[in-house]
Structure 1
Amino acid sequence: MSRRLKVLISGTGFAGQGHAEAFRAAGAEIVGMVGRTPEVVAEVAARLGIPHAGTDWQAALDLLQPDIVAIATPGGAHFTPIAQAIAAGCHIFCDKPMTESAETAVDLYQRAKARGVKTAYAASFRYTPSVLHAKRLVAEGAIGAPTEIECMSHFNLERDIPFGWSHRKEDGGGRLNNNFTHTLSIVTSVVGDKVLGIFGDLRDDLGRAPIVKGVHNFATRRDFIPKDLTDPALEWGESNVEWSYTVLARLQSPLAEQPVSVLFKHGGLVPRFHDDHIVFYGTKGAIHLKGHYGSGQLSLYSKDKGWQDIPLPRDIAAAVPKVTGETEQCWHYLARELVKDIQGETVDPYPTFREGSQYQQLIDIIRKTHTWTDTSDLF
């Protein structure tokens, strides 16, 4: 394919701008951006050098006829623009969560499959260099057969971040949609993606948040926290989704005879004491990745040598996109893979709408299933 692929962006915030830069770095042409607010989309598009700025998604699809669309809005706003893009025959790059529910996510997956378009689902922290390194080591047998995994993270988010989509289940909010999607993608990329069973305990320990106008960029929402939270004129919105979770899963792995046990523990509003981490345990050793998405130092444990920090292989280091920010690096990596795939190059498997629809089904199961056994009458 000799011509440059054309990309249309949905969303003007941190993700929309990040997706635009990722596809531009992958050699594609960013032909347009669509947003809700005319003056905002006009300003962002002009600053990024994007020729078309508008608020009508279908009109932009008809006018620009893009090869790829990048969906960078909150999950609750994904269904209609994705459905319209599929009908237009566009390949799709969609940020997580895929949608607000299993039903709509499965619907889109089936539509994309029937239309024959390629899809990329940006639960993309599986592309941090240390996770790629861990994947290689586990595949090489460095820890023997994997037996269990733990994913620990504590974000200590500000409780008074202005009320918005992240507080609402129907808009794709909640920590399962916006944290669990990444850690599940990391774990399944390393040991295998067949989830045999899952359950969890969820908690909304936030309750409410102040309603503030003018927040257009998720990355700068902290700047809008009201200075006087006791102001009687302040309006409040009620959260209806989880801010902390503990999830247990069993995965089938081609590297192990028995299912792999996985603990996903996330506290969105609580502080960390020790470092967040992801650890892969096996019959012969273990791999510790520092950081909530395992993007820090990789350490390998063996019975002979104990824990040792392992340097990043040169080829993995060389493949890291040259851009600031782990989120941005991962978007660049996945966008690069999608572009190569569309152009007919051979690429490793990457997360698609298959994974996105599976994750939404799992999240719905976790939210609906009550697994506790009542022991209140025991002596």
Structure 2
Amino acid sequence: MNKKLKVLISGTGFAGQGHTDAFRAVGAEVVGIVGRTASIVNEVAKKMAIPYSGTDWQQALKDCKPDIVSIATPGGAHYETITQAIEFGCHVYSDKPLTNSGDSALELYELAQKKNVKTAFASSFRYMPCLLHAKQLVADGAIGEPVEAEFISHFNLERDIPFGWSHRKEDGGGRLNNNFTHMMSIATSVIGEDILSIIGEVRDDLGKAPIVEGVHNFKTRRDHIPKDLNDPSLKWGENNVEWSYTVMAQLESSLASKPVSVLFKHGGLNPRFNEDHIVFYGTKGAIYIKGHYGMGPLYVWDENKTWKELATPQDIVDAQPKVDGDTERNWQYLAREFVKDINGQSFAPYQTFKEGSLYQQLIDLIRKNNNWTDVRHLQ
């Protein structure tokens, strides 16, 4: 009989509550939750029937003695929390980004290896049904050799969302940390995990955001946008991260004789005209998926030179957790495989701190924004 694993949650917002539901759904016992503010963490613990709540992470590790810790706070708060958990001997399930810098992320990966604990990195939109279908189609040769892919998304986010962690590099904010991590995970899942080279450009389209008290849940931050943005008493915070990016990468694929070119284009504040999409191009066809994270439907360009919509295979549908919400379902999918691995059961491969640290190092490179060649001297 498998051991009922004990889980301690770090974070009380949307992610913390989502991780709680995910681990409970796969048979683990959530024994405690930790947050910054006593009144809020106590309220969440009561609402979700979690027996232990507190604001002291180190003490919670001692009191709860968890097998797994689940990190559901912004990336800037991860390093110390994860370090303490690994030193305590816990397996770690962390939301993205892993930390706010490549160096600190690499430290966590190396520490986890040294302490021989298992890790899971939740850039988990690779588990969307249409993306699992695309992976299957590419592996089966439906488009021939993969040669190119593109990821195009425009989120049209409100410019006046209250100032918070998403506006600060030191807190793990920025579109690379919170969008590109998923996009690269999707690309490598379908094409191949080995990233050969990368080049990119970032842009701050925002500048500043209003400072508003009382915003505790990332999902409801829009509800706190000030009604009067011209109020002279309103204070503003200075943004220091990117809200748009363009990245090109080359990925190695066992299915292709040459590196596969990938374009990632994201405008966090820009409106879309047509749908966001993901496309995989090959020597014999292409796969087009509507939606920025591959929500679907999925179409294949076939030998008849027409786009044909394909239904998701039943085995992929059946393997999906039965929960509403793409984010919540993907968290549970990853938690399921993670728990299976810890329990010594057969599991599907999943991303770990190896990928989490690599992605953070890539983000550091992209943010240098030093890939431009000055051509003004050319005749």
TM range (shorter): over 0.9
Output one character per residue of 1:333-357: Cα deviation in whole Å (capped at 9) or x when no partner: 0000100110101112101000000
Distance in 1 (CA, whole Å) between partners of 2:217 and 2:369 is 34
Gaps of 5+ in 1: none
Report the equivalent of 1:357.
357
Report the equivalent of 1:319.
319
User: Which residue identity does 2:337 align to in structure 1?
Assistant: E
Distance in 2 (CA, whole Å) between partners of 1:305 and 1:341 is 43
Cα deviation for residue 2 of structure 1 reads: 3.3
Cα deviation for residue 303 of structure 1 reads: 2.8
Distance in 1 (CA, whole Å) between partners of 2:327 and 2:243 is 21
Aligned residues: 379
Report the equivalent of 1:141.
141
Distance in 2 (CA, whole Å) between partners of 1:114 and 1:295 is 38
Report the equivalent of 2:89.
89
Report the equivalent of 2:229.
229
Cα deviation for residue 3 of structure 1 reads: 2.9
Output one character per residue of 1:215-262: Cα deviation in whole Å (capped at 9) or x when no partner: 111000001100110011000000001000010001111110100000
What SS does structure 2 have at the residue aligned with 1:148?
strand
Report the equivalent of 1:58.
58
Matches within 5 A, 1:86-165: 86-165=86-165
Report the equivalent of 1:249.
249
Matches within 5 A, 1:170-189: 170-189=170-189
Contact in 1 for aligned 2:5/2:67 (Cα 8 Å): yes
Output one character per residue of 1:99-134: Cα deviation in whole Å (capped at 9) or x when no partner: 000000000000001111110000000001000000
Cα deviation for residue 324 of structure 1 reads: 0.7
Cα deviation for residue 320 of structure 1 reads: 1.1
Report the equivalent of 1:16.
16
What RMSD over aligned residues (CA atoms) do the two structures have, in Å? 0.8
Distance in 1 (CA, whole Å) between partners of 2:367 and 2:125 is 23
Distance in 1 (CA, whole Å) between partners of 2:104 and 2:81 is 12
User: Which residue identity does 2:204 align to in structure 1?
Assistant: D
What SS does structure 2 have at the residue aligned with 1:15?
helix
What SS does structure 2 have at the residue aligned with 1:50?
coil
Matches within 5 A, 1:285-300: 285-300=285-300
User: Which residue identity does 1:150 align to in structure 2?
Assistant: E
What SS does structure 2 have at the residue aligned with 1:309?
strand
Report the equivalent of 2:43.
43
What SS does structure 2 have at the residue aligned with 1:346?
coil
Distance in 1 (CA, whole Å) between partners of 2:157 and 2:37 is 27
What SS does structure 2 have at the residue aligned with 1:78?
helix
What SS does structure 2 have at the residue aligned with 1:372?
coil
Report the equivalent of 1:30.
30
User: Which residue identity does 2:174 align to in structure 1?
Assistant: G
User: Which residue identity does 1:77 align to in structure 2?
Assistant: A
User: Which residue identity does 2:304 align to in structure 1?
Assistant: D
Cα deviation for residue 201 of structure 1 reads: 1.3
Report the equivalent of 1:341.
341
Distance in 2 (CA, whole Å) between partners of 1:376 and 1:167 is 34
Report the equivalent of 1:198.
198
Cα deviation for residue 304 of structure 1 reads: 1.9
User: Which residue identity does 1:149 align to in structure 2?
Assistant: A
What SS does structure 2 have at the residue aligned with 1:9?
strand
Q: If the length of structure 1 is used for normalisation, what is the TM-score?
A: 0.99
Distance in 1 (CA, whole Å) between partners of 2:271 and 2:210 is 22
User: Which residue identity does 2:184 align to in structure 1?
Assistant: L
Contact in 1 for aligned 2:202/2:369 (Cα 8 Å): no
Gaps of 5+ in 2: none
Output one character per residue of 1:48-79: Cα deviation in whole Å (capped at 9) or x when no partner: 01000100000000011000000000000000
Matches within 5 A, 1:259-270: 259-270=259-270
What SS does structure 1 have at the residue aligned with 2:160?
coil
Distance in 1 (CA, whole Å) between partners of 2:113 and 2:189 is 22
Q: If the length of structure 2 is used for normalisation, what is the TM-score?
A: 0.99
Distance in 2 (CA, whole Å) between partners of 1:114 and 1:98 is 18
Distance in 2 (CA, whole Å) between partners of 1:346 and 1:289 is 30
Distance in 2 (CA, whole Å) between partners of 1:267 and 1:351 is 26
Cα deviation for residue 305 of structure 1 reads: 5.0
Distance in 2 (CA, whole Å) between partners of 1:215 and 1:261 is 40
Following TM superposition, where does structure 1 have runs of at least 4 consecutive aligned residues deviating by more than 3 angstroms?
A: none
Report the equivalent of 1:74.
74
Cα deviation for residue 369 of structure 1 reads: 4.5
Distance in 1 (CA, whole Å) between partners of 2:191 and 2:167 is 32
User: Which residue identity does 2:285 align to in structure 1?
Assistant: G
Distance in 2 (CA, whole Å) between partners of 1:280 and 1:100 is 30
User: Which residue identity does 2:287 align to in structure 1?
Assistant: I
What SS does structure 2 have at the residue aligned with 1:180?
helix
